[in-house]
Amino acid sequence: MALLVIGCWGGTEELKAQHAIGLNAGVFNPVNSNGVQYGAGLDYAYKASDKVRIGIGAAYYANSNSSSTRLNGIYTYTLREGVFSLYAGADMGLYFIEGYNFRRVYESINYIGMAPVLGAHYKLAEELALNLQLKFPLLLTVDKGGKGLFPVEGLTALEWNTGVVFFF
């Protein structure tokens, strides 16, 4: 998923654009499910300060047995600025996963998820960058007694995306 921060490895270039839209393709692999899902996502971010971007995102992933949809808020912090950039951040949002589980039983489950994010951009032009990103979502669910949110036993996920970011 294209999270939208330009930070550079040892450079001094500063991105002037206030808004960014990212379009990406990637994989989502919920552990204890029926394998890797392939899909795409779209993100929007606003430059809140020189180092911070906040925004929203959505993605859809699927394979022949299951699908996952993510709607999330985005927070990223620029670690370095310039042509090659690194950033870290966090996503928080809703995950909708449906399909056949590893026991071959069809289910549709909604989760709240939080994901640490690591990413890099390579600036192609003033308004365009390539994006690589890795996320490790921790999916949470309400316990059966309804007393709170707890990590889903045995179900976390790994998400990897690559794409482009347009700045304006």
pLDDT score, position 12: 34
Q: How confident is the model at residue 69 (pLDDT cuts 50, 70, 90)?
A: very high
pLDDT category at 135 given cuts 50, 70, 90 is: very high
- Over residues 105-126, mean pLDDT: 90
Closest listed residue to residue 119, CA positions, set 84, 158, 73, 95: 84
Q: How high is the pLDDT of residue 10?
A: 31
For residue 114, what are the β-bridge partners? Answer: 92, 138
Specify the DSSP class assigned to residue 147: S
Reported confidence tier of residue 107, pLDDT bands at 50, 70, 90: confident
Which of 133, 150, 130 lies closest to 142 in space, CA to CA?
150
Q: Is-contact 1 118, C-beta < 8 A? A: no
What is the rounded distance in angstroms from the CA atom of residue 124 to the CA atom of residue 45?
19
Residue in the block written with tokens 């330009």: 6
Domain segments of the chain: what residues? 19-167
Q: Is residue 4 very low, low, confident or very high in pLDDT (cuts 50, 70, 90)? A: very low
- Per-residue pLDDT, 31: 72
Name the architecture of domain 19-167. Answer: Beta Barrel (2.40)
**Amino acid of residue 134:** L
The pTM (predicted TM-score) of the whole model is 0.82
State the amino acid at position 106 in one-letter form.
Answer: Y
- The predicted model gives 112-126 an average pLDDT of 94
Question: In the predicted model, what is the mean pLDDT of residues 7-23?
Answer: 62
Average pLDDT (110-128) is 93
pLDDT score at 152: 61
E-assigned strands of 13-65? 19-30, 37-47, 52-62
In 3D space, the residue among 22, 142, 137, 42 whose CA is nearest the CA of residue 91 turns out to be 137
